[in-house]
Structure 1
Amino acid sequence: MNDVASPDANIRLGMFEAACDILAAAVIVYDKNDCLVFASRQVLRYFPIHADTLKPGTRLRDVLGAIFDTGVRYGIPPEQRHKAVNREEWVSAQISVHWREQYDAVERLSRDRWLHFRKRRLPNGYNVTTLVDVSEQKKQEEQWRSDLDRIALTEEILQTVPSPVIVKDRNLTYIAANKAFCTIYNATPEGILGRTVWDLADAENAERIERSDRMVLETGEPFVLPEHVIRADGSDLYVITRKHRIGAPGHHVVVTVMDDVTALVAGAASVSDEGDTLLRVPGGFVEGQNCFDPVRDAERRLLLEQLGAEDLRALPGKRVLIATPNTRIEEILVGEFKARGGDCCAVRSRYEFDGFLTLAAKHGLAIDLIILDDNMPDYQAMFDHGQDIATRLITPDGIGPDFMRALVEEHELLSENGSPLGDILTPVSFSDDWYIATDITAMLPAAVGDVEVLVAEDNQINQFVFSQILEGLGISHRIAENGEEAVMLWRKHQPRLVLMDISMPVMNGIDAAKEIRQAEELTGTHTPIVAVTAQALNVDMQNCMDAGMDDYITKPVSPDMIEAIYRRYAAGKLEKSVA
């Protein structure tokens, strides 16, 4: 048996020391008798003890005592660090930790220094301890937490600011939107963040807003504009919109603040002509975005009318459960109840309903009101399950894709006494009328029909929106449900303008436009055709232009958008025809 160290032992020890230096880690090894076997040079960086203390054979107790004598105190809970510490008690506590099979902790040695301790007890009784300085990492973590706290505080402040505030990144994507701005669109932050103005505004306003955003982003010059906006609830909002660029180069963002001056404008309207106005705006207010959705408003009123006025007044602080399979109803009621101060959520099935009530009872949460949709499968059984809770049954017939039909039926029932919905034109079908088909070549080139606008749209909700807008503008119109019907009605009525949805059944809008253009080649006439698209994709626009269309607009449409298109293409045509 040879107890002499092997010839390459020193080489291995040197390599181990070099590895510790490269890793910036201190390593200490004790044997099963708690005597020091090895300590790397890095240990002296962390503990200001004498080098002789780290010689092989030194007892663990003596090493700990030397560390204590330098004033270093690790392993002490923060709440006890201000108290006096007994030397023997501290050494004994560290020996106890030393004998654990595993130990892993980050200890703070001073105000700005942290060490990561790792201890492992091997099966042969040896203990290996590593120490790594993680001061920079901890400083970054503290800075990160501090930044998060500041961000949370900033967001809280933004949410309470009464004026709408939004922030867009250098790609003009919304990255922040406060509650006042979301209220304008009746939207949630999730429905706005990550999107662009093209997703929220009509094409004309989106182009105008993006142009000013890019000017501010590129030049850094502030932008100011008085605007008149129609909120989603139909009310007027007069604002002074201010845009600023902030941030470092390469990380600029555009901050838009809309100072609400509605009260001043409304007050000015009540001042007599002899008095001074409350607010003077050179050039007046620019007509901005129209966020009002007549279909959604009609749906909202239809739903709320089925609930008692007392229930609506008592909503603040109440817990409300909505059971409906219709996501549109869920969105409207949850948003409405939360806006009125209620704590509200929704379920979409009998399984979710039963599970929710069971879980609420288990945690002692009382449900104050249940809104139950009678379109819900097994709604009667659900009504019985929640019989101990105030339950209101709603019959929202037609809300969603069939809402247009429900409105028309209501209009017909009220037609004798006058419908509050105004005159609604029921979408035309092939069997609603008859006409004599003539050879297109025999039609007069200058023929102008009695219908000003032909709308080709297959979605009933969008049909209703077009009808309401055109009726409000006093423009006669007809509606086609597909491209084939659009061509037929174009031949029959020779409208002054065609608004053509490009995605329709039977025949799409692009093929319908091509057929109309082929027919016009024989007569020498030209009807302006404007494409209506769900999103402005370059490939869609090119296909529309190739089919002979004159222009395009994107959904959702607004009265301002339709009026602008009508004035551009149809109004001028009418004046020429009259002349």
Structure 2
Amino acid sequence: MFEAACDILAAAVIVYDKNDCLVFASRQVLRYFPIPADTLKAGTRLRDVLGAIFDSGVRYGIPPEQRHKAVNREEWISNRISAHWREQYDAVERLGRDRWIHFRKRRLPNGYNVTTLVDVSEQKKQEEQWRSDLERIALTEEILETLPSPVIIKDRSLAYIAANRAFCAIYDVNADGVLGRTVWDLADAENAERIERSDRAVLETGEPFSVPEHVIRADGSDLYVLTRKYRIGAPGHHALVTVMEDVSALVAGDKAVSDDEDAFLRVPGGFVEAQNCFDPVHDAERRLLLDQMNPEELRALSGKRVLIATPNPRIEEILVGEFKARGADCCAVRSVGEHDAFLALAARQGFTLDAVVIDANMPDHEAIIDNGRGIATRVIAPDGIGPDFMRGLVEQHELLSENQSPLGDIVTPVSLTDDWYIATDISTMLPGAVGDIEVLVAEDNQINQFVFSQILEGMGISHRIAENGEEAVMLWRKHQPRLVLMDISMPVMNGIDAAMEIRAAEKLTGTHTPIVAVTAQALNVDMQNCMDAGMDDYITKPVSPDMIEVIYRRYAIPQPEKSVA
């Protein structure tokens, strides 16, 4: 029966008595050591068994740094006997090139020694493969992180799951400020819709997509990129990779790039406005200037030579960037004297201008118009564009608020990290309004975050993850989820306080969001605290798909009203 048990367990067993003589050896031993079967007869000395193993060419228990050296037979046998006489010995030893054996030895009180041998080669190979994969992933991540071009990866729900340093630099945030969010959190509505439309087309069809884009960084500087999108992954597990090749230097005509003018980038139709890092002041200034230009003139700028005359650096930056993005060869002068000197130099070099755009605030700008020399001119009124532009907008807004503010006396406090939004009459908000996500999970542990995401994604439920109670309240305000799964123990603000703050806010709106507490253990005091804070239910960790599905069906799916007979 002992022999049959060893066969079933695929383990070799050897038993020695207190005199180191063999008592029992299962047939499985011969699978590990190519020694004569007679060696495993009862009564054979341990030294003789080890000698037969050494003579067969097997060498185990040798440190890796000594495997290339010659091994003395008696020294090796002595070391193995020494390990054999330990009260406990447990080690994974390498036999040959790609075979590993797990040795377990136990010395019993009566002096008998029981040794088991189990082949763990497949497990070791998997570990080696796993370690190799981790190293390869780490190397890939390092390469992506150091690439100068922004790279992002989105999952099937178009949420950011990876973003390299170059992409995060556009927004002046770290990766945590991007991951888990969508383009709707980063871009204005018009561009977010355009970007999402192309994202979904690539995910659905697998056809690559490319577009030249003009992005405004967080610091207000311009970024011109060739954006390319690709679908990767197996069916059902597709992901979207977006690579943004920075071509700002080529678009700007930087002479450090090339002395060959034909090498500079020309984009038919210009760059699409993709202000992922939306700057409302920059956008207002840009629109104010471009709206004074004829749309036909703007479309016909490609290949034209245009000179801008303005003393305002901000106007120069905006117009030069916009004209070059549309394919024009463009530069600026800041006075009438510079203008005249530029035209004289151009005439000597045999160059002619196609158009001049003149700032009406530039002193003596009428002289440029009078001496136009047959060049088309366009005068623009900058209307205070510059350092005081934002102040002027604020003053106009304050004047409007004093006279005819449509907002009334309603003031909704928000944290500095929250998004801006406009509050209308609170009494008109519909109770139980459904937001743009179904479940909000408040959980600070990264492993638990991954578990929740895997379960909810597998159920096809849209969700967001908050890392603390304060962030949970902020995301609740923004997304109005159908259900909140609230860990009660979190940093910054715990789940109890977060639930109380949500309930206090709901008293003003007449809404009610189901909040289910997530606890490590179901203690009566914890449950009572959750109920006192206004939570609706509780579940305990570890969570399971069945548990989440029951809670979701109970609180997030509208129940049909029962008819009354």
Q: Which amino acid aligns with 1:160?
A: T
Correspondence 1:458 to 2:400: no
| Residues 111 and 247 of structure 1, relative CA distance in 2, 3 Å threshold | same
Query: Which residue does 1:23 correspond to in 2?
Result: 9
Correspondence 1:93 to 2:79: yes
Query: Which residue does 1:496 correspond to in 2?
Result: none
Tell me which stretches of 4 or more aligned residues in structure 1 moved more than 6 Å: 417-420, 426-429, 450-456, 460-466
Query: Which residue does 2:429 correspond to in 1?
Result: 510
Contact residue 244 and residue 255 of structure 1 kept, 8 A: yes
Task: Classify the secondary structure of the residue corresponding to 1:29.
Answer: strand
Cα distance between partner residues in 2 of 1:247 and 1:94:
50
| TM-score (structure 1 length as normaliser) | 0.51
Correspondence 1:195 to 2:117: no
Task: Classify the secondary structure of the residue corresponding to 2:94.
Answer: strand
1:226 is displaced (CA, Å) by 1.2
Query: Which residue does 1:535 correspond to in 2?
Result: 478
Correspondence 1:163 to 2:149: yes
Query: Which residue does 1:393 correspond to in 2?
Result: none
Correspondence 1:61 to 2:47: yes
| Residues 252 and 118 of structure 1, relative CA distance in 2, 3 Å threshold | same
Contact residue 500 and residue 509 of structure 1 kept, 8 A: no
Q: 1:77 aligns with which of 54, 60, 63?
A: 63
Give the count of matched residue pairs: 331
Provide Cα deviations, 1:256-278, integer angstroms capped at 9, x if missing partner: 100111112222899xxxx8693
Contact residue 232 and residue 239 of structure 2 kept, 8 A: yes
Correspondence 1:102 to 2:84: no
Cα distance between partner residues in 2 of 1:425 and 1:511:
34
Correspondence 1:501 to 2:420: no
1:61 is displaced (CA, Å) by 0.7
Cα distance between partner residues in 1 of 2:410 and 2:417:
9
- Where does 1:227-306 land on structure 2 (aligned, <5 Å)? 227-267=213-253, 278-292=264-278
Q: 2:165 aligns with which of 164, 179, 188?
A: 179
Q: Which amino acid aligns with 1:286?
A: V
Cα distance between partner residues in 2 of 1:67 and 1:41:
15
Cα distance between partner residues in 2 of 1:135 and 1:206:
52
Task: Classify the secondary structure of the residue corresponding to 2:95.
Answer: strand
Query: Which residue does 2:320 correspond to in 1?
Result: none
Correspondence 1:130 to 2:116: yes
Contact residue 15 and residue 112 of structure 2 kept, 8 A: yes
Cα distance between partner residues in 1 of 2:39 and 2:22:
9
| Residues 114 and 511 of structure 1, relative CA distance in 2, 3 Å threshold | closer
Provide Cα deviations, 1:530-558, integer angstroms capped at 9, x if missing partner: xxx95355779xxxxxx9xxxxxxxxxxx
| Residues 288 and 49 of structure 1, relative CA distance in 2, 3 Å threshold | same
Q: 1:120 aligns with which of 106, 115, 121?
A: 106
Task: Classify the secondary structure of the residue corresponding to 2:30.
Answer: helix
1:136 is displaced (CA, Å) by 0.7
| TM-score (structure 2 length as normaliser) | 0.52
Cα distance between partner residues in 1 of 2:18 and 2:96:
31
| Residues 249 and 225 of structure 1, relative CA distance in 2, 3 Å threshold | same
Contact residue 35 and residue 57 of structure 1 kept, 8 A: yes
Provide Cα deviations, 1:291-343, integer angstroms capped at 9, x if missing partner: 15689xxxxxxxxxxxxxxxxxxxxxxxxxxxxxxxxxxxxxxxxxxxxxxxx
| Residues 171 and 26 of structure 1, relative CA distance in 2, 3 Å threshold | farther
Task: Classify the secondary structure of the residue corresponding to 1:73.
Answer: coil
1:19 is displaced (CA, Å) by 1.7
Cα distance between partner residues in 2 of 1:119 and 1:18:
21
Cα distance between partner residues in 2 of 1:537 and 1:282:
43
Task: Classify the secondary structure of the residue corresponding to 1:267.
Answer: coil
Contact residue 167 and residue 177 of structure 1 kept, 8 A: yes
- Where does 1:106-505 land on structure 2 (aligned, <5 Å)? 106-267=92-253, 278-292=264-278, 421-425=391-395, 458-459=412-413, 500-501=422-423
1:93 is displaced (CA, Å) by 0.8
Cα distance between partner residues in 1 of 2:62 and 2:178:
49
Query: Which residue does 2:538 correspond to in 1?
Result: none
1:451 is displaced (CA, Å) by 7.0
Contact residue 163 and residue 260 of structure 1 kept, 8 A: yes
Provide Cα deviations, 1:93-113, integer angstroms capped at 9, x if missing partner: 100000001111111111110
Cα distance between partner residues in 1 of 2:133 and 2:105:
33
Query: Which residue does 2:378 correspond to in 1?
Result: none
1:156 is displaced (CA, Å) by 1.1
Task: Classify the secondary structure of the residue corresponding to 2:60.
Answer: coil
Cα distance between partner residues in 1 of 2:41 and 2:201:
71
1:76 is displaced (CA, Å) by 0.8
The answer to which of 172-181 and 156-165 deviates more is 172-181
Task: Classify the secondary structure of the residue corresponding to 1:96.
Answer: helix
Q: Which amino acid aligns with 1:32?
A: K
Task: Classify the secondary structure of the residue corresponding to 1:284.
Answer: coil
1:453 is displaced (CA, Å) by 9.1
Contact residue 191 and residue 276 of structure 2 kept, 8 A: no
Gaps of 5+ in 1: 1-14, 296-416, 435-449, 467-498, 513-532, 541-546, 548-579
Cα distance between partner residues in 2 of 1:135 and 1:242:
44
CA root-mean-square deviation: 3.8
| Residues 164 and 455 of structure 1, relative CA distance in 2, 3 Å threshold | farther
1:420 is displaced (CA, Å) by 7.5
Q: Which amino acid aligns with 1:196?
A: T
Cα distance between partner residues in 2 of 1:536 and 1:69:
73
| Residues 54 and 135 of structure 1, relative CA distance in 2, 3 Å threshold | same
Provide Cα deviations, 1:174-195, integer angstroms capped at 9, x if missing partner: 2221100011111111222233
1:18 is displaced (CA, Å) by 1.8
Provide Cα deviations, 1:179-234, integer angstroms capped at 9, x if missing partner: 00011111111222233333333333333222212211221100001111111111
Contact residue 187 and residue 278 of structure 2 kept, 8 A: no
Provide Cα deviations, 1:321-367, integer angstroms capped at 9, x if missing partner: xxxxxxxxxxxxxxxxxxxxxxxxxxxxxxxxxxxxxxxxxxxxxxx
Identity %: 72
Provide Cα deviations, 1:98-136, integer angstroms capped at 9, x if missing partner: 000111111111111000111111111111111111111
| Residues 242 and 433 of structure 1, relative CA distance in 2, 3 Å threshold | closer
Q: Which amino acid aligns with 1:535?
A: K
| Residues 27 and 279 of structure 1, relative CA distance in 2, 3 Å threshold | same
Contact residue 501 and residue 509 of structure 1 kept, 8 A: no
Cα distance between partner residues in 2 of 1:465 and 1:210:
20
Contact residue 456 and residue 500 of structure 1 kept, 8 A: no
| Residues 153 and 230 of structure 1, relative CA distance in 2, 3 Å threshold | same
